[in-house]
Structure 1
Amino acid sequence: MTRTPSSARTPTRRIRRLPVVGLTVVTAAIIATLFHQVPKFLPSSNTDRAEHRGVFGEADGVVPDGVTVFDDAVPAVANLDPDLLKALRRAAKDAADDKVVFYVNSGRRSPAYQNQLLREAVAKYGSEDEAARWVATAATSLHVAGDAVDLGHSDATAWLSRHGAAYGLCQIYRNEPWHYELRPEAIKRGCPRMYADPTQDPRMRQ
């Protein structure tokens, strides 16, 4: 049997590898393109950020970046219902053992600020009915009452979805995984069934 010199076989191996290498490059390019096109998940409460500075301030409930549930100097945090804030801080201390931080995207808001957010939601979603799925009126908002908090990031809300009931902290709306309220009875009974969105909440119909 005649052996083919290794130098003669090398091109064949290289040619066979080219489609594999090419496929890898093309696949990587497709994944990168898709990742770039898919928007990152951002809760609606992120509208409480820089675009409102100058019109509304921290006293109205605007929350600077990086604020946590322990930041008493920030009115949106300090003016939350005291029992809600205590529960949040108890949970946050335990979550810290899992390297999870409870950042606050939105807390207590002034009526004027809430009405501005509602106007912006109507402009964004095209109608008052659709906007109501995301932003309440100043008269019905639990944020204006200081009874609700919007938390970030996703690791914090994921942690609370597993452990929040033990602290009386419950997600209320299925479309808002960042929105939490205090339900003391949840410690023994578990959190109540979530509403699909705020339009299903009887409190929003007052």
Structure 2
Amino acid sequence: MSQTAAVRIRIRRILRPVAVGLVAGITNLVRRPASSVELVSTKADGVLPDGVTVFDDSYPGVANLDPDLLRALREAATDAAADGITFYVNSGWRSPEYQNELLREAIAKYGSAAKAARWVATADTSPHVSGQAADIGSFDATAWLSKNGAKYGLCQIYRNEPWHYELRREAIDGRCPAMYANPSRDPRMRR
């Protein structure tokens, strides 16, 4: 067997599974019933690309945050910048549709609504939908907020979500309230 023929055989062995996988994936997509088609969230729903900061008003996910929360985040971010830290926002305000999409995805991932509730609230109860919460992106920023956030009224609310911050004005003169273990333990989520 020539070297060229051997190379062709190796290429076929490598590419055949890839081609079969692509065909199967396309077939599955075409055969998927309309009722299982996932929503495609957009910028208007509050979806944020990587690199968005608390100062990026061109994104509804930032611009639609509660004005007091946004003011506190920007003040804290300005002070944190002196330490070389940037506050990126992974998620802020969300439309009810986007929140429901996140909940459906969490239920599929965790296997039940009860397990998903430890991570994602309903659109009726989520502080993201009302613009009352922001998920801050980098470890440096969340570590900075953990240490300094109370001065701005910014508090981590859930032990299992070190990125999730809400405004608690009473914390400015003292300390943040005790955290809930996760959103399912938060009485606000039981409406």
TM-score after normalising by structure 2: 0.79
Instruction: Work out whether 1:66 is the aligned partner of 2:51.
Output: yes
Q: Which residue of 1 aligns with 2:131?
A: 146
Amino acid at match of 2:137: G
Alignment of 1:152-163 (within 5 A): 152-163=137-148
- Output the CA distance in 2 between the equivalents of 1:177 and 1:154: 9
Alignment gaps of 5+ in structure 2: 1-38
Shift of 1:55: 1.1
Q: Which residue of 1 aligns with 2:78?
A: 93
Larger radius of gyration: 1
Shift of 1:121: 0.1
Alignment of 1:128-147 (within 5 A): 128-147=113-132
Q: Deviations over 1:28-62 (max 9, x none)?
A: xxxxxxxxxxxxxxxxxxxxxxxxxx811111010
Q: Which residue of 2 aligns with 1:187?
A: 172
Shift of 1:170: 0.1
Instruction: Work out whether 1:125 is the aligned partner of 2:125.
Output: no
Runs of 4+ in 1 over 3 A off after TM superposition: none
Q: Which residue of 2 aligns with 1:107?
A: 92
Q: Which residue of 2 aligns with 1:116?
A: 101
State the secondary structure of the residue aligned to 2:155: strand
TM-score after normalising by structure 1: 0.73
Amino acid at match of 2:186: D
Amino acid at match of 1:196: A
Shift of 1:189: 2.3
Q: Which residue of 1 aligns with 2:181?
A: 196
State the secondary structure of the residue aligned to 1:170: strand
Alignment gaps of 5+ in structure 1: 1-53
Q: Which residue of 1 aligns with 2:20?
A: none
Q: Deviations over 1:95-115 (max 9, x none)?
A: 000000000000000001100
| Equivalent position to 2:67, from 78, 82, 91 | 82
- Output the CA distance in 2 between the equivalents of 1:78 and 1:185: 24
> RMSD in angstroms over aligned alpha carbons?
0.8
